[in-house]
Structure 1
Amino acid sequence: MKIAIFGGSFDPPHIGHEMIVHEALRHLDIDTLFVIPTYLNPLKCDFVAPATKRITWLTQLFETQQKVKICDYEVKQQRRVYTIETIEYLLKTYEISKIYLIIGADNYKIFDQWRDHDKIQSHCELVVASRDDTIYPKDLKKLNINAKISSSKLRAHMDGAFIPKMIRNEVIEYYTRNIMEKRIERIVSILDTNKAESIQTFDMSNKDYIVDAVVIATTLGERHGAALLETLKTELKDKGEIFLNIDESSDWAILDMGDILVHLMSPAYREKYNIEEFLTNRELELNQEDH
């Protein structure tokens, strides 16, 4: 049995991954291509989409490819799994005569830092999926992939053009929602750490409102409100947030982040204007209209 191994986080799967699989099936003499999502990449500290979600997307994406098998070995270990472990598992499980290990150009450059890299090469022939014009050794197999995209870039700027059509809507919805939740959590954490009171968040997505989310917090006074505002500006800008506008007074400051509004209000102003009641009623009105 001749196989190829293509592992990665696939967080999310994108057209570059799809191209690699198609090129491998075209150019490598193999019986099975094992696509193996990691539980947690040995070179990374976390993931965004859980492993079960990534497996589901990969299964949907390659369900028509008879030679492609989505392998959940690493996911089932629920820990970081090094490539050599996966190779040894496959060798014990299948009668294998040839293994191609497909890696990206970036990983090829640091391959000598991989755990047991010499042992890996004793079992496998390396195949580099290259996205550039780098010159490689003549005897090294290459898959030329014309897709300059990465999962990390997609997570930062979700562009549907780089997501395979079969899973596009679900992937975009998941990461957009997840990224928004993390941004809200960050804002709330900053406010809570800096002694803001009565912090409330409102999900206004799909509610025909000017933004997707609203955060409201009560300040302890003018100086506290000014300090909160300055801390939010400093810490959120460090995380790449952009402020379209900031309206500031001694009793009420509004940070407009495009899709998120943050209200910092004195106790008197919060009671007087009662924004949370307006937002709650807005949601109830839309629910009634839907019925």
Structure 2
Amino acid sequence: MKIGIYGGSFNPIHNGHIYMAKFIVDYLKLDKLIVIPVGTPSHRKNTLADATMRLKMCKIAFENEKKIEVSDIETKSKDISFTYDTLLKIIETYPGNEYFEIIGEDSGEYFHKWKNYKEILKLAKVVVLQREGYSTILKDSNLLQVKNPFLNFSSTRVREAILNEESIENMVPKEVAEFIKVNKLYKK
């Protein structure tokens, strides 16, 4: 099987994330894409919405996608989340497959500074999605740069819109917007 691993803060998940997830399933002809909201991030202060809430939003966003599953592998852990450790857990859960670690070019720019990045490249193909204004420094035969459409979406913009009491209906699925509203997420 070809298994993709798509981690991120998803704070909140937005239409750009959803589009890219579907795009990469088709582009790589994946059998399964595992979406993994980060638990405790290794690379920034934890200013994220509650992990359980971000996990639920991801599950809502992908509930009708047969090839996409959402995993709580990081959100249920109290440890700092490192891609290498999560990849090892995925390989243990789904042994003997071909693995694709999906990252954005914003992460690709500093991938060479990630914990055990050389081992990640031995265990999986690292697939870098283009993001405007970024470029991947590292070159490796197991690092694939994808020519994908640029989408003008960001979680930061969604959170700003919520704070400014602007509509987010074109940025997130309506069920996710409703979940955010009901749970009063991203309000000061």
Secondary structure of 2:10's aligned partner: coil
Query: Residue 178 of structure 2 aligns with which residue?
Result: 169
Q: Is the 8 A contact 2:25 2:31 kept in 1?
A: no
Deviations 1:98-157 (A, max 9, x none): 111110111001000101000000111111121338676797241514322221232233
Select the structure with the greater relative contact order (CA < 8 A; seq sep ≥ 6).
2
Secondary structure of 1:54's aligned partner: helix
Q: Is the 8 A contact 1:61 1:167 kept in 2?
A: yes
Secondary structure of 1:128's aligned partner: strand
- 1:27–1:115 Cα change, 3 Å: same
- 1:163–1:4 Cα change, 3 Å: same
The answer as to 2:47 corresponding to 1:47 is yes
- After superposing the two structures, state which structure 1 stretch, 12-21 or 48-57, moved more: 48-57
Residue type of the partner of 2:159? R
Residue type of the partner of 1:95? P
Secondary structure of 1:127's aligned partner: strand
The answer as to 2:109 corresponding to 1:109 is yes
CA distance in 2, matches of 1:31, 1:63: 16
How far 1:31 sits from its partner (Å)? 1.3
The answer as to 2:155 corresponding to 1:151 is yes
More helix by share: 1
How far 1:166 sits from its partner (Å)? 2.9
TM-score by length of 1: 0.56
The percentage of counterpart residues that share the same residue type is 27
- How does 1:230-245 map onto structure 2 within 5 Å? none
Secondary structure of 1:149's aligned partner: coil
Query: Residue 14 of structure 1 aligns with which residue?
Result: 14
Residue type of the partner of 1:148? N
- 1:138–1:25 Cα change, 3 Å: same
Rg (Cα) greater in structure: 1
CA distance in 1, matches of 2:158, 2:133: 23
**Count of matched residue positions in the alignment of Structure 1 and Structure 2:** 179
Secondary structure of 1:144's aligned partner: coil
Residue type of the partner of 2:111? F
Query: Residue 127 of structure 1 aligns with which residue?
Result: 127
Q: Which runs of 5+ in 2 are unaligned?
A: none
- 1:102–1:59 Cα change, 3 Å: same
Q: Is the 8 A contact 2:34 2:71 kept in 1?
A: yes
- How does 1:1-291 map onto structure 2 within 5 Å? 1-132=1-132, 140-142=144-146, 144-158=148-162, 159-160=167-168, 161-172=170-181, 174=183, 178-180=186-188
How far 1:165 sits from its partner (Å)? 2.5
Residue type of the partner of 1:128? V
Q: Is the 8 A contact 2:109 2:134 kept in 1?
A: no
